[in-house]
Amino acid sequence: MKELIFKYKAVIKFIFTFLLVYSILTGGYKLYLQYSTGEKFYPDYMTHLVAKQSKELLNTFGYNAQVLPHPDEASMKLIINKKYVARVIEGCNSISVIILFISFIIAFSGTFKTTLFYILAGSVLIYAANLVRVVILSVGLYHYPWRKDILHSVIFPAIIYGMVCLLWVIWVNKFSNIKKVHDA
């Protein structure tokens, strides 16, 4: 048994670190959600921010977009040219995906400075890609409402999770300590 643990020490360390970081960040995020709901930034600050920034991007692209608090659920209604096309819920704010990204990067950490920089840069890229995703999804729903299922179930995950996987591959191949272990 000791031999197996020693042989797979790196794998065990990765799994333990990933689960620990993921649990801590997810717990912190749940606390944030529990205590951040309010009238000023409904339903929570990050979801509200994503909705407002999506509206601004849509307006930049020539659409007349509005966001309004949903009266019946914790979400923001996204309206394009007076047509209600989507709702921005907590799951649309990319924080859960960023937590997953950060957990993986820390579990495959490199130097402190490189890890911190990559986490910050990657989180900003994921957040920006998510805004673009919300805008593309909204425009798609405005023009092609009958394509709702493929837009939300295929294109939406492909954009955000594709970005995360690409960032992970770059991290493991260029910056993490795992490469140094195998080269030695």
Can you give the residue range of the structural domain that contains 18?
Answer: 2-37+90-183
Where does the pLDDT of residue 38 fall: very low under 50, low under 70, confident under 90, or very high at 90 and above?
low
74 against 121, higher pLDDT? 121
CB contact set of 94 (below 8 Å; sequence gap of 6+): 50, 126, 127, 130, 160
| Mean pLDDT score of the chain | 89
- Predicted confidence (pLDDT) per residue in 150-181, tens digit: 888 888 888 889 999 999 999 998 887 765 54
120 against 41, higher pLDDT? 120
Q: What is the pLDDT of residue 119?
A: 97
- Cα 56 from Cα 77, distance rounded (Å): 14
Predicted confidence (pLDDT) at residue 3 exceeds the cutoff of 90: no
38 against 180, higher pLDDT? 38
* In-domain check, residue 21: yes
The tokens for 87 are 């709702």
* In-domain check, residue 55: no
* In-domain check, residue 76: no
Q: Average pLDDT, stretch 7-13?
A: 83
3-state secondary structure of 44: coil
User: Within 13 Å, how many C-alpha atoms sit on residue 156's CB side?
Assistant: 20
* In-domain check, residue 169: yes
Whole-Å CA distances, 49 to 41, 46, 73, 159 = 8, 5, 17, 20
Q: What is the pLDDT of residue 54?
A: 96
CB contact set of 88 (below 8 Å; sequence gap of 6+): 47, 50, 51, 54, 67, 75, 76, 78, 134
Q: What is the pLDDT of residue 39?
A: 62
- Predicted confidence (pLDDT) per residue in 119-147, tens digit: 999 999 999 999 999 999 999 999 998 88
DSSP 87-116: EE-GGGSSHHHHHHHHHHHHHT---HHHHH
- Any idea what the Cα angle at residue 21 is, between residues 20 and 23, rounded to 5°? 65
Where does the pLDDT of residue 96 fall: very low under 50, low under 70, confident under 90, or very high at 90 and above?
very high
- Cα 18 from Cα 100, distance rounded (Å): 9
pTM as predicted: 0.88
User: What length is written for the chain?
Assistant: 184
- Cα 178 from Cα 183, distance rounded (Å): 9
Predicted confidence (pLDDT) at residue 69 exceeds the cutoff of 50: yes
Q: What is the pLDDT of residue 182?
A: 47
* In-domain check, residue 145: yes
* In-domain check, residue 85: no
* Structural domains of the chain, count: 1
* In-domain check, residue 45: no
* In-domain check, residue 142: yes
